[in-house]
Chain A
């Protein structure tokens, strides 16, 4: 310090008294800063002004203002971004003067959360992927626009038919949280179930089992040939419900799942739940689950399954795309509805879980919400839907759009499973209503522990019921009920 001054006469730098004075000053500054702070998170007052509505015509039923910019943020995941770009081109064709700002990202939350906080969100968001923003909170905090105008608008292909009537079963209900407003438009349609290789099943000289006794017999036969019956994403055991929940519905009826979704007391103590848990536990007890499964993640388990180390895998229809590079050409990928217990089950064989995926939302504070909805209307046309299905190997929410294109084996089998199911499609909501409960508590701490053999079915049910009861009592989360 001495070098900084030439003629300092023994000064000792900052004196003690100065220090006290200064810290007092600092205290004075920090009081107004707290006021500034509270303004910081809530600085979103300015984003309220909406674009002027355009004229509503037959070609423009939502009244999109031709001259306004529309911003569309797509999740750039397993489905890529091409289908979004194609849809944007159609939008630009309809509204040549409008500027469309399109972007695709995997970091939905990191890019968009600040914009929600500022009150300047884009007009259409595909809120998907690992960085999905919690839908319950977005709805609860009134951050989303009601999509009813879109659903009641005439569909893109047929002006006499509303958009609502062109969708697959369950899509509209899934977009509702409580009451009539529809907050989310799920664009993709996923079939959950038991995935297997038809070739492997043929080589065992077996049919897909419809009762649990048959299932155990098939697994026993496979075991003799050195093949495990089942494997699953052991590190993410919340893949097990993809076949377990519809099995519970098949055994005990839809209302068992509804009670579980509604977090009703003792919902998990229903005999159908117990019977299904015990059936799955038997797979472990008899050694039909691939050794080491609890340490495998989804990719590793899918790879082991594709290599023929295990016969059955609970999964969703994305597995065909996700594991495309490890599934052999002659694999004969197929999906089927979960095996039930026996003929006394409440619902017929074929009961399957299918539901929307890839949730699209229009923020309440968007500048051009009708533009966002119009973009969705375009995407829900038959041509766009067919384009989506052929490009990403997934069904879309549009009921149809599969004629005239060659379906991949998994897609075709999924389509067949849906046809077989007819009305017996179940749609457990617990995984989008209570993410933590479903994944971390029921999945990892309940089912995961049971299937690793560290807990009996009775213990697992008791533990899960405890989690559900705690969630029902937790005031920090929003609760939903089936209508």
Chain B
């Protein structure tokens, strides 16, 4: 019997685990291996160099700058995005005024329309979003500065992406804009599964919207928020930040390294400078940061699971 059971389990797990090992674990092992070599990425020859790449990385100012920006992305973006998304989702699903004859819990007027509108950015590829905002941020004829001129603020004409003090915030704003819709939908789905009688009970006890949100919605939605948090952090450390920084910023990564992030630096080292081994070293550092981020979020977010 035992044999049959194992064979059964193995039969199911072998293929997915094999795929996972081949396409996820294996490349990780490879990268770690390459980070100890002097591989250029442009020829098959390389030799082992020990920890040279790592000691070089620790002395590399640009690496520290990109790490700093990536960490800022990973900490700040989830807070802002998820905060906004929770607020919007609450207003869409729960926050509405009670209408005569209507259900006890409902969203604000026109909430189904908003739900679709928030999701719009999600159907655009991130590259297109970045390009659109690049036009908007154009200091000469872009939408934002034109608007400022239009309302008489001729003297306020920031350089946006051209200003080292603003560029990073401009990039973050784009990321928030483009991802918040996804989380609104995710949280809406979560809120829809919270039983209405809980809300009814709260309302009978005289709870207002804010109390309802913090005492009922958020605790019952905690699991979703937590996975959303990790997901957003990984987006902010990885693909999304690479795309917007790479497409929109000066250089890219500038002005004066004010927007460079780790993924961009990996790309530049591997594919512009022909230093693939050093790039994998930074990649390993990025892996450590990502794992640490996920571990911290899981740890801090651990709560008793509520059944309902």
> Interface residues, chain A, CB within 8 Å of chain B?
4-9, 11, 30, 33-34, 37-38, 40-44, 109, 113, 116-119, 131, 133-134, 136-138, 140-143, 234-237, 290-297, 300, 304, 309, 435-436, 439-440, 443-445, 448-449, 452, 454, 476-477
Contact = CB atoms under 8 A, between A and B. Distances in A.
Interface string B34-48: 100001111111100
A294 B157 CA distance: 12
Given A41-B39, A44-B44, A292-B162, A235 B8 contact: no
B163 A295 contact: yes
Contacts of B160: 295
A119 B44 CA distance: 7
Interface stretch (B86-94, B209-217, B252-260, B284-292): B252-260
B199 to A, nearest CB: 36
B141 interface: yes
Contact of B140 (A44, A290, A443, A452): A290
A448 B256 CA distance: 8
A295 B256 CA distance: 13
A309 B162 CA distance: 19
Contacts of B145: 292
A449 B29 contact: no
Contacts of B140: 290-293, 295-296, 300, 304, 309
Contacts of B251: 235-236, 439-440, 443-444
Interface stretch (B119-127, B235-243, B270-278): B270-278
A134 B271 CA distance: 8
B46 A41 contact: yes
Contacts of A136: 274
B1 interface: yes
Contacts of B163: 294-295
Contacts of A7: 1
B97 interface: no
A134 B274 contact: yes
A256 to B, nearest CB: 25
Contacts of B100: none
Contacts of B43: 116-117, 137-138, 141-143
Given A40-B30, A109-B271, A444 B162 contact: no
A439 B30 CA distance: 31
Given A4-B5, A440-B253, A476-B56, A34 B162 contact: no
Which size class do B's interface residues fall under? 35 or more
Main secondary structure of the interface of B (DSSP, over half): loop
A299 to B, nearest CB: 10
Given A296-B139, A436-B273, A449 B255 contact: yes
Contact of A236 (B5, B44, B137, B250): B250
A37 B9 contact: no
14 contacts: A5-B5, A5-B8, A44-B44, A134-B273, A134-B274, A143-B42, A292-B138, A292-B139, A292-B159, A293-B162, A294-B139, A300-B141, A309-B140, A435-B272
A426 to B, nearest CB: 25
Nearest to B12: A4
B273 A294 contact: no
Given A8-B1, A444-B254, A41 B274 contact: no
A188 to B, nearest CB: 21
Interface of B: 1-2, 4-5, 8-9, 29-30, 33-34, 39-46, 56, 134, 137-141, 145, 157, 159-164, 249-251, 253-257, 268, 271-275, 278
Contacts of A134: 40, 42, 272-274
B250 A234 contact: yes
Contacts of B4: 5
Contact of B44 (A42, A109, A140, A234): A42
A475 B189 CA distance: 55
A133 B43 CA distance: 11
Nearest to A443: B251
**Which of B2, B39, B159 lies at the interface centre, i.e. has the most chain A CB atoms within 10 A of its CB?**
B159
B42 A300 contact: no
A133 B42 contact: yes
A140 B9 CA distance: 52
A40 B30 CA distance: 9
Given A133-B274, A296-B138, A435-B273, A34 B56 contact: no
Nearest to A132: B272
A440 B162 CA distance: 14
Given A292-B145, A436-B273, 10 more contacts: A37-B30, A137-B274, A138-B42, A291-B157, A292-B139, A292-B157, A439-B251, A444-B250, A444-B253, A477-B273
Contacts of B2: 8, 11
**Which of B164, B257, B274 lies at the interface centre, i.e. has the most chain A CB atoms within 10 A of its CB?**
B274
Nearest to A37: B33
Q: Which 6 A-B pairs have the closest CB atoms?
A: A292-B139, A295-B162, A137-B274, A294-B162, A141-B43, A134-B274
Nearest to B252: A235
Contacts of A34: 33
A295 B159 contact: yes
Contacts of A109: 271
Given A109-B271, A445-B256, A234 B162 contact: yes
A444 B45 CA distance: 33
A291 B163 CA distance: 13
A42 B45 contact: yes
Contacts of A40: 30
A291 B255 contact: no
